[in-house]
Chain A
Amino acid sequence: MTTHSTEPRHASDTGGADAQNAHDAQDAQDYVVQDTWIERAVGRGFARVTAGPMAPYQTAVIRIGFAATWLFFLLREWPYRHELYGPDGVWSLDMARRLLGSNGAFSVLVWSDGRGWFELVYALAMISSALLMLGWRTRTMSVLFMIGVLSLQNRSVFLGDGGDNVIHLMSMYLVLTRCGQVWSLDARRARRTAAAGADGTPGRDVTGVLLWSVLGPALALAQLLGLYGLEWTANGPFPHVGWGLALWVLWLVHGAWWWVRRYAPGEPRTVLNTLADLAHNGALLVIMVEVCLIYATAGWYKIQGNRWQDGTAVFYPMHLDYFSPWPELSALLAGSGLLIMLVTYGTVIVQVAFPFTVFNRRVKNVLLVAMILEHLSIAVLLGLPFFSLAMVAADAVFLPTNFLRWLGGRVAAVRDRLIPGGPARPASGEAAGGAAGAADGAAGDEGKPAGGPGARTRESGGGHTLVG
């Protein structure tokens, strides 16, 4: 099907004479129709977005970044979890219900007043974060991760900050991406299946089937009990799509993907695979634009403020009670008016400029380094570690592939030094990332002298078709 659609484009590329000789009248008509630059561009774009999932390393790194940020946050708040999200926390469940009743936001925490239910949801939120980070049953975990993030955050809306906001949005976008193609336990399993010499048919995957068989009935039960937030056509992720419908569609698609890989490896599998690529590429675009919107909004609104104009803005947050954990450091920096002005102007320039530089690799990468460094210093100076970590994870979607592969190789090298015999062992968090990175890093080094264009390289061996 992909072949059919791209053929006219090919015909127009190779010249009119060949096309007319080789094709019948219908194809000749296609050729004429496509012979404008705009239609050729659409054809090229179509071929591109159906050719496979783009940016496997970038989507993997943001998956690891957001999952790790949320996991560290939940671990850090473990002693305070009852106060923040528990049934009798400061924002009580009864108050949460009244607010959710008016805004329709999704949360499973209001399903029960029991302490046990709360503890279970909090534990599942941590477990799904850890497993998403490792890339274990990535697509299922991305759904559970999203449910955990939305449930906790929507239950206590007045507790969040910008970091929570980024994670909230990205947890939904990640569900639509194939973010486990590299640096994941899924990818490792796919490689091993391939190495074991199977004829391309994936294994039965008992664990995956079990997980799927538990989650479907659980959703059915929740709906039968009439629990909050599972409508079919209202209060969902899109207009006229409720969370009930959305979750059932995801569940059915996961089942269908398993089925076609095992029993219908021909056209049905190609169709589903291409649809998944399309959804991935669409979500990737949304993620990238979202990051640009964040910086554009932050930058353009700053320009209108007189403190950003007179070069003193950065001085003020460092002197707010809530954002000055290290007053000595703040005082040291605030001692230099020139330094404060440079950071103030630099911040605005970088934030305003960033969206316009994404089309120029070199400039974009320079700004990216500047933004990541600024966020790391905000983490310490303003006492916002989780906000900063979430923003660095968001920035990472724009990191160049060569750098990410190099980083993967370094992580793998460190892992191998710490745990001799690394990749053969059951991997822990970093090791899982490194396992894929080790193999990829070797390939990356060979390609290094070629430089620039390597940015678009994809993991060789077509591994993505094996990983959901």
Chain B
Amino acid sequence: MATAAGGIAVAALVHIAMMFLHVAPSNTVTKAHGAAVSDYVYPEYEQNWKLFAPNPLQQNISVQVRAEIRPGDGGSARTTGWTDLTALDGRAIHHNFFPSHTQQNELRRGWESFVGSHDAQNRPNGTRGELTERYLRRIAMGRLGAEWTAHGGTVDRMEFRSVTTPVGPPPWSSEKISDKPVYRVLPWWPVTVDDVPEGASK
């Protein structure tokens, strides 16, 4: 029984040490043994508790999309206006005690993972990058596909952009910041059947 107690104590302490090293900043130990820590932690013990830290996000990022619709009768393609998907989320969250993950996390974290898996020229780095591109297209098609094709035609291509606007300083603060929005425009992406989630039509 003493062996069992010792074994469980060692397992618990090793686990705690791994969790600690995973959440701690990069340090002497993780620089030398980072791979061992990662092997232990991923995938099931991954965690991130930098909640609103070191600084809370101080800007609103609006993700907007427009599409090019090819009419069924062979006429010339037309381009829709921009739709602010983030604003639609915001409207769904407004006065909502229980926002759904589809409203609060889907697009927000989808965009984050796009930014995290692409370089400044919007080129994907590896599989993950390509997957997040398709994810964005599916989100847009799921929300707007039916509306875009309400008068017939198919969605040929779509284009995303983000508009980043800083949150103004608090009313009591004398701080001055630029309130000019910053745009990031992605290239036009062709839309295929793989980009159409359940319940949407291309």
Asked whether any CB of chain B lies closer than 8 Å to the CB of A420, the reply is no
Asked whether any CB of chain B lies closer than 8 Å to the CB of A194, the reply is no
Q: Judge whether A306 and B49 touch: CB under 8 Å.
A: no
Q: Judge whether B51 and A307 touch: CB under 8 Å.
A: no
- Chain A residue numbers with a CB within 8 Å of B96 are 325, 383
- Answer whether A325 and B44 are a contact pair too, CB < 8 Å, given A158-B110, A275-B4, A334-B170: no
A278–B1 Cα gap in the complex (Å)?
Answer: 10
Q: How far is the CB of A101 from chain B (nearest CB, A)?
A: 9
- Chain B residue numbers with a CB within 8 Å of A304 are 53-54
Asked whether any CB of chain B lies closer than 8 Å to the CB of A447, the reply is no
- Chain B residue numbers with a CB within 8 Å of A319 are 60, 167-168
A46–B19 Cα gap in the complex (Å)?
Answer: 24
Q: Judge whether B197 and A90 touch: CB under 8 Å.
A: yes
- Chain A residue numbers with a CB within 8 Å of B131 are 95, 98-99
- Of A77, A84, A308, which contacts B54 at CB under 8 A? A308
Q: Judge whether A321 and B197 touch: CB under 8 Å.
A: no
Q: Judge whether B102 and A80 touch: CB under 8 Å.
A: yes
> Which B120-165 residues have C-beta < 8 A from chain A?
127-128, 131-132, 134-135, 138-139, 142
Asked whether any CB of chain B lies closer than 8 Å to the CB of A317, the reply is yes
Stretch of B74-82, B87-95, B178-186 lying at the A interface: B87-95
- Chain B residue numbers with a CB within 8 Å of A98 are 127, 131
A171–B42 Cα gap in the complex (Å)?
Answer: 16
- Of A5, A105, A160, A320, which contacts B2 at CB under 8 A? A5
Q: How far is the CB of B85 from chain A (nearest CB, A)?
A: 11
A278–B6 Cα gap in the complex (Å)?
Answer: 10
Asked whether any CB of chain B lies closer than 8 Å to the CB of A406, the reply is no
- Of A80, A296, A305, which contacts B101 at CB under 8 A? A80
A11–B7 Cα gap in the complex (Å)?
Answer: 26
Q: Judge whether A289 and B197 touch: CB under 8 Å.
A: no
- Chain A residue numbers with a CB within 8 Å of B105 are 158-161
- Chain A residue numbers with a CB within 8 Å of B47 are 165, 169
Asked whether any CB of chain A lies closer than 8 Å to the CB of B198, the reply is yes
A169–B22 Cα gap in the complex (Å)?
Answer: 14
Q: Judge whether B8 and A278 touch: CB under 8 Å.
A: yes
Asked whether any CB of chain A lies closer than 8 Å to the CB of B64, the reply is no
Closest chain A residue, CB of each to CB of B132: A158
A159–B132 Cα gap in the complex (Å)?
Answer: 12
Asked whether any CB of chain A lies closer than 8 Å to the CB of B201, the reply is no
- Answer whether A317 and B57 are a contact pair too, CB < 8 Å, given A80-B100, A88-B198, A278-B5: yes
**Interface code A235-247, partner B: CB below 8 Å = 1, 0 otherwise?**
1011100000000
> Which A306-358 residues have C-beta < 8 A from chain B?
306-308, 312-317, 319-322, 324-327, 334-335, 337, 340
Closest chain A residue, CB of each to CB of B93: A325
Stretch of B9-17, B27-35, B65-73 lying at the A interface: B9-17
Interface size class of A (residues with CB under 8 A): 35 or more
Q: Judge whether B2 and A337 touch: CB under 8 Å.
A: no
Q: Judge whether A322 and B12 touch: CB under 8 Å.
A: no
- Chain A residue numbers with a CB within 8 Å of B104 are 161, 322, 383
Asked whether any CB of chain B lies closer than 8 Å to the CB of A91, the reply is yes
Asked whether any CB of chain B lies closer than 8 Å to the CB of A293, the reply is yes
Q: Judge whether A2 and B198 touch: CB under 8 Å.
A: no
- Of B4, B45, B62, B138, which contacts A92 at CB under 8 A? B138
Asked whether any CB of chain B lies closer than 8 Å to the CB of A120, the reply is no
A95–B134 Cα gap in the complex (Å)?
Answer: 9
Number of residues from B at the complex interface, CB < 8 A: 75
- Answer whether A337 and B167 are a contact pair too, CB < 8 Å, given A158-B113, A321-B86: no
Asked whether any CB of chain B lies closer than 8 Å to the CB of A10, the reply is no
A334–B97 Cα gap in the complex (Å)?
Answer: 20
- Chain B residue numbers with a CB within 8 Å of A103 are 42-43
Q: Judge whether B167 and A76 touch: CB under 8 Å.
A: no
- Chain A residue numbers with a CB within 8 Å of B171 are 334-335, 337
A116–B155 Cα gap in the complex (Å)?
Answer: 30
Q: Judge whether A293 and B23 touch: CB under 8 Å.
A: yes
- Of B8, B49, B89, B167, which contacts A279 at CB under 8 A? B8
Q: How far is the CB of B38 from chain A (nearest CB, A)?
A: 11
A313–B50 Cα gap in the complex (Å)?
Answer: 14
- Chain B residue numbers with a CB within 8 Å of A335 are 171
> Which A223-251 residues have C-beta < 8 A from chain B?
235, 237-239
Q: How far is the CB of B104 from chain A (nearest CB, A)?
A: 6
- Of B15, B55, B168, B170, which contacts A306 at CB under 8 A? B55
A109–B100 Cα gap in the complex (Å)?
Answer: 21
Q: Judge whether B97 and A385 touch: CB under 8 Å.
A: yes
A98–B15 Cα gap in the complex (Å)?
Answer: 29
- Chain B residue numbers with a CB within 8 Å of A313 are 52, 55-56
Closest chain A residue, CB of each to CB of B22: A293
Q: Judge whether B95 and A325 touch: CB under 8 Å.
A: yes
Q: Judge whether B54 and A301 touch: CB under 8 Å.
A: yes
Q: Judge whether B167 and A282 touch: CB under 8 Å.
A: no
A425–B18 Cα gap in the complex (Å)?
Answer: 47
Chain A interface (Cβ within 8 Å of chain B)? 1-2, 5, 46, 49-50, 76-77, 80, 82-84, 86, 88-92, 94-95, 98-99, 102-106, 150, 154, 158-162, 165, 168-169, 172, 235, 237-239, 271, 274-275, 278-279, 282-283, 285-286, 289-290, 293-294, 296-298, 301-308, 312-317, 319-322, 324-327, 334-335, 337, 340, 380, 383, 385-386
Given A106-B44, A160-B101, A312-B173; 14 other pairs, CB 8 A cutoff = A2-B1, A50-B1, A84-B102, A271-B1, A274-B1, A286-B15, A305-B55, A307-B58, A312-B170, A313-B56, A317-B52, A317-B57, A325-B94, A385-B97
A-B contact pairs, 22 of them (CB 8 A): A46-B2, A77-B102, A80-B102, A82-B199, A83-B199, A84-B102, A89-B197, A169-B45, A282-B8, A282-B9, A286-B12, A289-B16, A297-B49, A298-B53, A312-B169, A313-B56, A319-B60, A322-B104, A322-B108, A325-B95, A337-B173, A340-B170
Closest 3 CB pairs of A and B: A305-B54, A105-B43, A337-B172
Chain B interface (Cβ within 8 Å of chain A)? 1-2, 4-5, 8-9, 11-12, 15-16, 19-20, 23, 39-40, 42-58, 60, 62, 86-87, 89-90, 93-102, 104-106, 108-110, 113, 127-128, 131-132, 134-135, 138-139, 142, 167-173, 194, 197-199
